[in-house]
């Protein structure tokens, strides 16, 4: 097997749910030092509740051109089974009945192996910076904590879009998270139900009044968890649920979130309960144009590797959202991984190796 496959199998076998990225960070640091680079790890781990900070490394330029940065995240969604990656019929899967971790360890592999080739083969380039972040899956926390002023490069890429290689993501949504807590009054459900006010009933009414799922071509909404009550014979005093809304139009998102808040207030009034809602920004969205350098270079790199570039929008957030918010133009690229966050997650050996080629091609295109 190729060095890329060996590295990916090593990374995929390491559990790294959000906050437990130490094992992956150690492999990344070892690999970068083996290339003769001087990587460092910042101190954000303690601040964001992780065993690892952001890992940063710089490859000094050897030619004129445009400096670039590459970013991948070291965490995965939590696995619920054994991590036992295998190669079958040219495809890497996990035989343990849970995620593979190709999101985002396939990207970590492609970037590390791509830089290895640039260094070992003496490929001329205008400077490459690498950033590997923790806790991306729970709110882009590592990227938010990274000191973006460290970057000389103004343009870069993440590989964090599911699907066939070649897709260049031109935009991602704005997202808001809401924690909604209803407060009623407890009472014995059999002896004195009229004395109680059910917080679960209030929450159920609120959720029933929400527009959920794909609301329209720009907007999605979801209620992900709900909890409340103490026993089957007690009218529940408390009920809490977590919701989110995403939209590719920031102003439209604000209106939609207000619609949700109004539904919560109406449900509280109808059930004679109180409601408290805490809202936070998950991330801000962005839109890129096809003729922007970061987009054009991505298309050129895919074309160099014989891959027809395609353009689309993402329904999710990635570290690219943070870089764009901080003034660095960052493009998300599909890297051949399918089945994100599921036991069916997989990537072909051919695509894993071709993303190494794409990484080298990005450095070459930026030099030119």
Spatial distance between the Cα atoms of 114 and 354, rounded to a whole number of angstroms: 10
Helices (H), the chain: 3-12, 22-34, 44-48, 102-120, 141-145, 199-208, 250-271, 293-304, 319-325, 349-367
Spatial distance between the Cα atoms of 6 and 345, rounded to a whole number of angstroms: 18
As beta bridge partners, residue 70 has 130, 157
What is the torsion angle, in degrees rounded to the nearest 10, for the CA atoms of residue 254, residue 258, residue 259 and residue 261?
140
Residue from 136, 137, 319, 345 carrying the catalytic annotation:
136
Spatial distance between the Cα atoms of 256 and 332, rounded to a whole number of angstroms: 26
Spatial distance between the Cα atoms of 101 and 4, rounded to a whole number of angstroms: 15
CB neighbour class for 327 (10 Å; exposed up to 12, middle 13-18, buried from 19): exposed
As beta bridge partners, residue 312 has 169
Instruction: Answer positive or negative: Cα dihedral of 89, 95, 98, 100.
Output: negative
- β-pair type (274-283, 174-183): antiparallel
Residue from 20, 21, 75, 351 carrying the catalytic annotation:
75
Of 291, 308, 293, the closest CA to residue 366 belongs to 293
DSSP secondary-structure letter at 285? Answer: -
As beta bridge partners, residue 246 has 175, 220
In 42-55, which positions are buried (b, 16+ CB within 10 angstroms) versus exposed (e)?
bebbeebebbbbbb
**80 is an active site residue:** no
Query: Are 133 and 318 in contact, with CB atoms under 8 Å apart?
Result: no
Angle between helices 3-12 and 22-34 (to 10 degrees): 160
**136 is an active site residue:** yes
Spatial distance between the Cα atoms of 111 and 132, rounded to a whole number of angstroms: 10
What positions carry a catalytic annotation?
Answer: 75, 136
């Amino acid at each position: 097997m190729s060095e890329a496959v060996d590295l990916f199998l090593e990374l995929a076998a390491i559990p790294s749910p959000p906050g437990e990225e130490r094992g992956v960070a150690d492999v990344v640091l070892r690999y970068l030092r083996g290339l003769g680079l001087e990587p460092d790890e910042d101190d954000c781990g303690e601040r964001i509740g992780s065993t690892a900070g952001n890992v940063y490394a710089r490859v000094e330029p050897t030619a004129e051109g445009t400096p670039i940065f590459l970013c991948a995240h070291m965490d995965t969604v939590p696995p619920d089974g054994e991590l036992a990656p295998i190669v079958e019929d040219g495809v890497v899967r996990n035989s343990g009945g849970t995620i593979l971790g190709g999101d985002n360890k396939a990207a970590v592999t492609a970037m590390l192996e791509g830089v290895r080739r640039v260094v070992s083969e003496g490929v001329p380039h205008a400077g490459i910076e690498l950033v590997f972040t923790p806790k991306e899956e729970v709110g882009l926390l590592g990227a938010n904590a990274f000191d973006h002023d460290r970057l000389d490069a103004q343009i870069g890429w993440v590989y964090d879009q599911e699907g066939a290689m070649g897709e260049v993501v031109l935009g991602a949504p704005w997202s808001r998270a809401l924690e909604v807590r209803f407060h009623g009054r407890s009472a014995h459900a059999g002896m004195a139900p009229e004395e109680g006010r059910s917080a679960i009933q209030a929450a159920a009414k609120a959720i029933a009044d929400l527009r959920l799922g794909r609301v329209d071509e720009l907007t999605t909404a979801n209620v992900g968890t709900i909890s409340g009550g103490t026993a089957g014979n007690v009218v529940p005093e408390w009920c809490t649920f977590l919701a989110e809304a995403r939209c590719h139009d920031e102003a439209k998102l604000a209106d939609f979130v207000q619609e949700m808040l109004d539904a919560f207030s109406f449900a509280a009034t109808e059930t004679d309960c109180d409601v408290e809602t805490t809202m936070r920004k998950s991330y801000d969205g962005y839109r890129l144009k096809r003729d922007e350098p970061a987009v054009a270079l991505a298309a050129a790199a895919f074309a160099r590797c014989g891959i027809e570039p395609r353009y689309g929008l993402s329904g999710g957030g990635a570290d690219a959202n943070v870089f764009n918010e901080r003034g660095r133009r960052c493009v998300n690229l599909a890297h051949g991984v399918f089945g994100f966050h599921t036991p069916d997650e997989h990537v072909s050996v051919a695509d894993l190796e071709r993303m190494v080629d794409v990484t080298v091609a990005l450095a070459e295109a930026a030099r030119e």
